[in-house]
Each structure stands twice: as C-alpha cells, then as structure tokens.
C-alpha cells in the first residue's frame, strides 16, 4: 500500500500505469486485480482513504482535541513537515485535485481539505479568534502548505518549504488584528 501510494504521488493518476504499479509493488496484474477488482480507480480511492485516515489520526484529531492552541499548531506543523519530508514529498490529494482525474475523486478531495480546515479553524477559535478570522487563517494555512509544496518542487529548493512553514506558523499564532 505505501508503495502504491508513492507511485500515484510521483506520477499522478494518469501517469501511474499498471506496469509501474506492478513493478513498484512487486505484484502481478493477477494479484492487483484480485485485491482491487475495481482496477486503478479503486487503488487510487483506497490510497486516498489511507492518506485521509493518516491525517485524521495524526493531524485532525489532535487539532480538535487540543486545549493548547499554540502547542496544537506547532504539533501540526511538525507532523506536516515530517509527512511531506520538508517539501520533498508531494501531496497526493493536491496532485489529484489539479489533474484531469479530479472529478472522479472530487468528493474525497473536498472532504479531506474541508475536515482539515474545520479542525484547524476550531483550534484557532479556541485561542480566542473570531469565527471569521479563524476560518480565514486556517484556509490561509492550507493554501500555504499546498503552495509551498508546489513552489519547492518547481524551484527544486526545499528551503522554500521550510520558510513558508515558519511564516505560516507565525501568522497562525499572531494576536488578533
């Protein structure tokens, strides 16, 4: 499964051919279609679901249940930085959102970002921010993460990612303006 995810991550949905998948996982087509009768679409859907549940456990839930906003944000940033390997690893959800396969997985993609956004806004509200400011800042954080991944990869410079994460943290924790 992790191998499968990595293929989609680095080749996109249309670029991830069954030959590549077969090679990366070490499984023949027979096995692949035994476990995923729905073919490529099902593989991608399950990978997305796996990512979703990783984020649910490691990011969303900690945000929702935290009683210390500053600490919660710091934890999130740490988890994000390690998950995306400081900008070297792509966000599959973002990659799919940009591709032609977006429509097929629109629901899952939307759900993922929406839940992240809600969880982050919740913890920001708890820090004393108004609902509108909290939502604005949480959306800004997601924008920054996705943009930092794009730009770091485009410029082939992971310092861009690190700097963006630092700036984002400052902005998230700034006192209400």
Q: Which residues contact a second copy (rule: CB under 8 A)? A: 10-12, 14-15, 90, 93-95, 97-100, 102, 106, 109-110, 113-114, 136, 139-140, 142-148, 150-151, 153-156, 160, 163-164, 167
CB of 140 to DNA, least distance (A): 36
Smaller CB distance to DNA: residue 104 or 158? 104
Site map 16..35 versus DNA, x via CB under 7 A:
xxxxx------xxxxx-xxx
Q: Angle, to 10 degrees, between the axis of helix 69-83 and the axis of helix 159-173?
A: 160
CB of 6 to DNA, least distance (A): 16
Binding region for DNA (CB under 7 A) out of 13-21, 54-62, 129-137, 151-159:
13-21
Whole-number Å distance between alpha carbons of 27 and 161? 35
Q: Which ranges of the chain would DSSP assign to H, the alpha helix?
A: 2-15, 18-25, 29-35, 39-55, 61-65, 69-83, 92-98, 106-126, 131-155, 159-173
Closest C-alpha among 105, 2, 13, 106 to residue 54: 2
Given a contact cutoff of 8 angstroms between Cβ atoms, the answer to whether 5 and 50 are in contact is yes
By a kind-dependent CB cut-off of 5 to 8 A, residue 10 interacts, out of a second copy, DNA, none, with a second copy
């Amino acid at each position: 499964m992790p191998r499968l995810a990595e293929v989609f991550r680095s080749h996109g949905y249309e670029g991830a051919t069954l030959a590549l998948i077969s090679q990366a996982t070490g499984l023949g087509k027979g096995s692949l279609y035994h476990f995923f009768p729905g073919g490529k679409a099902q593989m991608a859907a399950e990978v997305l679901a796996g990512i979703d549940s990783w984020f649910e456990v490691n990011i969303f839930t900690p945000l929702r249940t935290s009683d210390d906003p500053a600490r919660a944000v710091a934890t999130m940033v740490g988890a994000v930085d390690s998950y995306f390997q400081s900008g070297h690893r792509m966000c599959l959800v973002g990659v799919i959102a940009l591709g032609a396969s977006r429509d097929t997985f629109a629901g899952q993609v939307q759900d993922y970002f929406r839940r992240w956004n809600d969880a982050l806004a919740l913890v920001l509200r708890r820090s004393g921010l108004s609902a509108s400011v909290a939502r604005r800042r949480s959306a800004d954080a997601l924008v920054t993460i996705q943009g930092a991944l794009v730009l770091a990869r485009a410029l082939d410079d992971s310092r861009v990612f690190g700097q963006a994460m630092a700036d984002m943290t400052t902005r998230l924790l700034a006192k209400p303006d």
